[in-house]
A and B are shown apart, each in its own frame.
Chain A
Amino acid sequence: MEWIQQLVNGISLGSIYALIALGYTMVYGIIKLINFAHGDVFMVGSFVGFYSIVGLGLDFFTALVLAMIFCAIFGVLIERIAYKRLRNATRIAALITAIGVSLLIENGFIFTWGPQPKAFPDIIANGSFEILGAKISIKSILILSISITLMVILQFIVHKTKIGKAMRAVSHDNEAARLMGINVDNTISATFAIGSALAGAAGVIFGLYYTKIDPLMGIIPGIKAFVAAVLGGIGIIPGAMVGGLVLGVIETFVNASGFSLWRDAAAFVILILILIFRPNGIFGKNTREKV
């Protein structure tokens, strides 16, 4: 029952992509910006988790929460310092700024703390159990449970709370939202905070799963999560979740079928295929007017 095992691995990996993809899609939904620095927030989250456990001796869950809080603040700072003044600028100017912020974080990090990879502490039991002849690791289940819990909380925030409703209103029609008395600046900041917190959580569980973290670790997962967001339909929250899971599973099966060298290429092949055949993604409406 090798394939069940691979499916579980794929879903765990995919749930990490999904957590990152949510931040891309939420920020895109609200200010139409592809935040290329998002993968770096994920990296920072991983390092905050690492130092919380190794440096401060905290347990895994406290480290996870700390990384989320740190990244939430970090994400809001990025938005307030770099992006806010570009609200009315051209899209390309904002995009170039995002790439600049990404390079600044990566190189600033290397400059300050050095380029060496770190070994993420192995603080969760390495056990596994068997279901239907498939060996499922406790780590995969833990990763999956954390991701699902966070996504449920996110759904609750977006649909049931006042700030969530404000976020949806602003992303649909910024001007009409202002007429409701919604503070658009604060709503955008809240979106960055939530998206970045999810990326931070993804960073910590990624460290737990792959055990090696480094300052450039955010680039590839960042790009893949972006593909996942486009796959699901950029700007659509359930789309990011499904896109992440689909991508993780496809990638794992490509890997397991003996094409491990093609693993990273899978995401790009998918991206090209979506852009050709379904540019609005799985959940996107087929409207052509929105550019």
Chain B
Amino acid sequence: MLSVKDIDVYYGNIHALKGLSLEVNEGEIVTLIGANGAGKSTLLKTLSGLLKPKAGTIHYLNSSIVGKPAQTIVKAGISHVPEGRRVFANMTVEENLELGAYTRKDKKGIAEDLAKIYETFPRLLERRKQLSGTLSGGEQQMLAMGRAIMSKPKLLLLDEPSMGLAPLMVQTIFQVIDDINKQGTTILLVEQNANMALSVANRAYVIETGRVILSGTAKELQASEEIKMAYLGGHV
């Protein structure tokens, strides 16, 4: 479904992604783990068209999306929930969700999906007229995910959805991620909480300073001593 080959991404002189390659197959949850500053967010921003790679190719559903503007990529079915949620704090919960459907024209479908999101996240329904800046961190994460789903994505990019959330809320969010995937949306999940990420994912990539250093099925990585040491806080 998504095939990234040898991409190089820079911020000015900073070489953030160095010949990175990865694959995501339809229906999978693929997780990307790595320390702070490894380049995980940079990769997601490149996939959603916020950054342009200097070299390399990105194919999505067999067509190249390198250099395409973000709006084209959203229309093609890739939706990105950015790190830190980035909800529109000056707008209500419902306005945020409506903006998620910005590229869609099918009024009826939009209304149905809105109702579905309120079903998934009853908290958002209770707060639909509230300014989203007044929501708690967990509610903002739900809103950011709901907003992304409103574009009817085939591939959902999630950047550290559990960041800063209480353990119970993390459980809820991961449950929802699993549900979304079971309903047919492919997911590329960036996490620092590697334990949680590996527990829901099919496959995983470990990245370090802009390169993939290890990849495999989630089970393989969970069993790897190297990973336990570096990312799962385990003891040998």
**Residues of A near any B CB (own CB < 8 A):** 162, 165-166, 168-169, 172-173, 175-183
Contacts and interface: CB of A to CB of B under 8 A. Distances in A.
B99 A169 contact: yes
A9 to B, nearest CB: 35
A169 B70 contact: no
Given A165-B91, A168-B91, A172-B91, A180 B99 contact: yes
21 contacts: A162-B102, A165-B98, A165-B99, A166-B102, A168-B88, A168-B91, A169-B88, A172-B91, A173-B88, A176-B86, A176-B87, A177-B99, A178-B70, A179-B48, A179-B74, A179-B79, A179-B82, A180-B74, A180-B99, A180-B103, A181-B75
A180 B80 CA distance: 9
Which 7 residue pairs across A and B have the least CB separation, nearest first? A181-B74, A181-B103, A176-B86, A178-B70, A181-B71, A180-B102, A180-B99
Given A179-B82, A182-B102, 5 more contacts: A175-B86, A176-B88, A177-B99, A179-B148, A181-B71
Nearest to A179: B80
Contacts of A168: 88, 90-91
Contacts of A169: 88, 91, 99
Interface residues of B, number: 26
A176 B90 CA distance: 13
Contacts of B75: 181
Contact of A165 (B70, B80, B89, B95): B95
Interface in B123-151: 147-148, 151
Contacts of A177: 99
Contacts of B34: none
Contacts of B100: 180
Nearest to B133: A172
Contacts of B39: none
Residue of A162, A179, A181, A182 ringed by the most chain B CB atoms within 10 A: A179
Contacts of B99: 165-166, 169, 177, 180, 182
Given A172-B91, A173-B88, A176-B88, A181 B50 contact: no
Contacts, number: 59
B161 interface: no
Contacts of A179: 48, 50, 70, 74, 79-80, 82, 86, 148
Contacts of A162: 102
Interface of B: 48-50, 69-71, 74-75, 79-80, 82, 86-91, 95, 98-100, 102-103, 147-148, 151
Nearest to B147: A180
Contacts of B147: 180
Nearest to A186: B71
A176 B147 CA distance: 11
A162 B107 CA distance: 13
Contacts of B69: 183
B82 A175 contact: yes
Contacts of B90: 168, 172
B102 A178 contact: no
A162 B147 CA distance: 15
Contact of A181 (B82, B98, B151): B151
A170 to B, nearest CB: 10
Nearest to B87: A176
A90 to B, nearest CB: 15
B80 to A, nearest CB: 5
A175 B102 contact: no
Residue among B71, B82, B151 with most chain A CB within 10 A? B71
B89 A175 contact: no
Given A168-B90, A173-B88, A175-B50, A181 B70 contact: yes
A166 B147 CA distance: 14
A178 B95 contact: no
Given A165-B99, A176-B82, A183 B89 contact: no
A162 B95 CA distance: 10
A110 to B, nearest CB: 41
A176 B80 CA distance: 9
B202 to A, nearest CB: 25
A79 B80 CA distance: 29
B98 A178 contact: no
Contacts of B70: 178-179, 181
A78 to B, nearest CB: 24
A179 B70 CA distance: 6
A147 to B, nearest CB: 25
